[in-house]
Amino acid sequence: MERLWSPWRSQYIDSIKDEDKSQGCVLCDAARKDENDKDCLVVEKGELTFTVLNLYPYNNGHMMIVPYRHTSDFASLSKDEKIEIMNKLQSAEQALKMIYSPEGFNIGLNLGRVSGAGLHEHIHFHIVPRWNGDTNFMPVLGEVKVISQDLITTKNKLVEAFSKLRKK
């Protein structure tokens, strides 16, 4: 079996291992921000969840669906939270298809730090658009992940796409 090494991911995880707990939860902080703030990465707010761009994306458009309620326990999600999460993931998929025409998606969550969850104390679901050949030599040899669009431009495109989807 061949392996693809991703040292940039380990560096990110290591950088937050000893995070200052007095700073609170970055996802709870994001939920409280005004989504119209030009520096805010929140794309859409729902009744029980919000959709936010990943600050350390694997690809353009990498988003997370996050319940407002601070929990790390998957079993504690209410039926309504689970339904809204699935609906928001579907909307995110549609918005990404509208903007970027990806060839596939990775959708999922990491439960617990040992599973790779960088923000293990607040559950969140990832949706990552994928294209054939989107992994290249840059991360492996140069320890650099190339993201071809800045986050705010990506946010603006996604906000517009989500708006169009709501009008359908």
Count H helices and E strands in the chain, helices first.
Answer: 5, 5
Strands 125-130 and 63-67: antiparallel
Torsion of CA 23, 25, 30, 32, to 10 degrees: -90
Q: Which of 62, 70, 122, 124 is catalytic?
A: 124
* For residues 87-96, average pLDDT: 97
Note the pLDDT tens digit of each residue in 66-86: 999 999 999 999 999 999 999
Provide the pLDDT for residue 148.
66
pLDDT at 140: 47
DSSP-based helix, strand, coil % in the chain, nearest 5: 40, 15, 45
Ordered by where they begin, the domains of the chain are: 26-167 (3.30.428.10)
* pLDDT confidence tier of residue 143, bands split at 50, 70 and 90: low
Q: Does the pLDDT value for residue 45 go beyond 60?
A: yes
Tell me what the mean pLDDT of segment 3-17 comes to: 56
Nearest C-alpha neighbor of 48 from the set 19, 82, 97, 1:
82
pLDDT value for 160? 92
Sign of CA dihedral 34, 128, 49, 110: negative
The answer to whether residue 120 is catalytic is no
Predicted local distance difference test score (pLDDT) of residue 86 = 98
Q: What number of other Cβ atoms are within 10 A of residue 11's Cβ?
A: 10
The number of beta carbons lying within 10 Å of the beta carbon of residue 79 is: 7
**123: exposed, middle or buried (Cβ count in 10 Å: 0-12, 13-18, 19+):** buried
Give 39's strand partners. none
Average pLDDT over residues 151-161: 90
Q: How confident is the model at residue 37 (pLDDT cuts 50, 70, 90)?
A: confident
User: Across the strands, what pairs with 42?
Assistant: 52
Q: Is the predicted pLDDT of residue 146 greater than 60, yes or no?
A: no
